[in-house]
Structure 1
Amino acid sequence: MRQPLSLQTPHLSDYPELAQVWEDSVRATHDFLPDAYVRLLREHVLYRYLDAVMLVCCKDRQRICGFAGVASSRVDMLFVAPAYRGQGVGRRLLRYAINELNAETLDVNEQNLQALGFYLHEGFEVVGRSPTDGLGQPYPLLHMRLRGTGQCSGD
């Protein structure tokens, strides 16, 4: 039987679990990233990125199923544990980010076709592209904006 899921603000003590959800999700969906880069990014997530965003997580009674992070009207993170993919967790987190945290834009790795399809289905459109990721590595990013909102500020 499926356990009820709740949205809540994670605590600092949840950060290791959030980083594990991040890593598990990335390993399931970002097969284009080398292992060493995933390990480096995990450290950035745990010690830099989580503190830089407004966080919301989706939990069942025992564990975190997924989380989103928003800063300056942009979804900077949205990751779902592999066991919970396809169960509405990502949609619920994204809707919260849009409706409660005023998110209108996001970036997605161009090679992550599943995430790109998800965001297109959820009402986002591609408005730009960068040839590198946020650390300057050759993993192109697509810049997306919620349809019907103003111009993307761009970085």
Structure 2
Amino acid sequence: MDHPFNVLTPTASDHPELIRVWESSVRATHGFLPEHYLLVLRDKLLPEYLKAVTLICCKDGQGRIGGFAGVANGDVHMLFVADEYRGQGMGKRLLAHAVHRLGATRLDVNEQNPEALAFYQRQGFEIGGRSATDGLGQPYPLLHLRLKSTADD
């Protein structure tokens, strides 16, 4: 059963917790990425990636951030749920907020993360394209997804 996680806007003081959530999520779901690349991505998270998006997060009953998403220009650029919160409805809640409140209709997912692809497909997204490399030009293919309802726009 989905928990009623509230979607909030994180503040700058939440950034260390967002980095913790990101690392927990990526380590649980991106086993295909080597350690050195995880460190490169983590080092870009605060100075570059978080500043480029509208951030939303979900907190548990104790006020601890369990997941967050970032949206810009109709794209979900990031959606991460800490490993201990996976499967509890937090990712679904964040994605629904990104779509219905922030107007997101597109996102990219690593091809080597079939669990995430299946999650997004269950939420109404479909594959619209593919890139052989990730955003940094590394050999981690991305699948470009879009909401089915906007596929003919």
TM-score, normalised via structure 2 length: 0.94
Deviation at 1:150, TM superposition (A): 4.7
Indicate the residue corresponding to 1:84 in structure 2.
Answer: 85
CA distance in 2, matches of 1:19, 1:78: 12
Runs of 4+ in 1 over 6 A off after TM superposition: none
Q: What letter is aligned with 2:30?
A: H
Please tell me whether residue 143 in structure 1 is matched to residue 135 in structure 2. no
Deviation at 1:62, TM superposition (A): 3.1
Matches within 5 A, 1:54-73: 54-60=54-60, 61-73=62-74
Report how many residues are paired: 151
For the residue of structure 1 that corresponds to 2:20, the secondary structure is: helix
Unaligned runs of 5+ in 1: none
CA distance in 2, matches of 1:54, 1:4: 22
CA distance in 1, matches of 2:99, 2:30: 24
Q: Percent identity?
A: 61
Deviation at 1:54, TM superposition (A): 0.4
Indicate the residue corresponding to 1:25 in structure 2.
Answer: 25
* Residues 16-66 of structure 1 deviation map (CA, whole Å, 9 limit, x = unaligned): 110110011000000000001001101111211001000100001231010
Deviation at 1:4, TM superposition (A): 5.9
For the residue of structure 1 that corresponds to 2:133, the secondary structure is: coil
Indicate the residue corresponding to 2:119 in structure 1.
Answer: 118
Deviation at 1:77, TM superposition (A): 0.4
Higher relative contact order (CA 8 A, sep 6+): 2
Unaligned runs of 5+ in 2: none
For the residue of structure 2 that corresponds to 1:17, the secondary structure is: helix
CA distance in 2, matches of 1:116, 1:148: 17
Q: What letter is aligned with 2:111?
A: E
Cα RMSD over matched residues? Answer: 1.6
For the residue of structure 1 that corresponds to 2:116, the secondary structure is: helix
Asked whether the 8 Å contact 2:5–2:93 carries over to 1, the reply is: no
Please tell me whether residue 11 in structure 1 is matched to residue 23 in structure 2. no
CA distance in 1, matches of 2:29, 2:14: 22
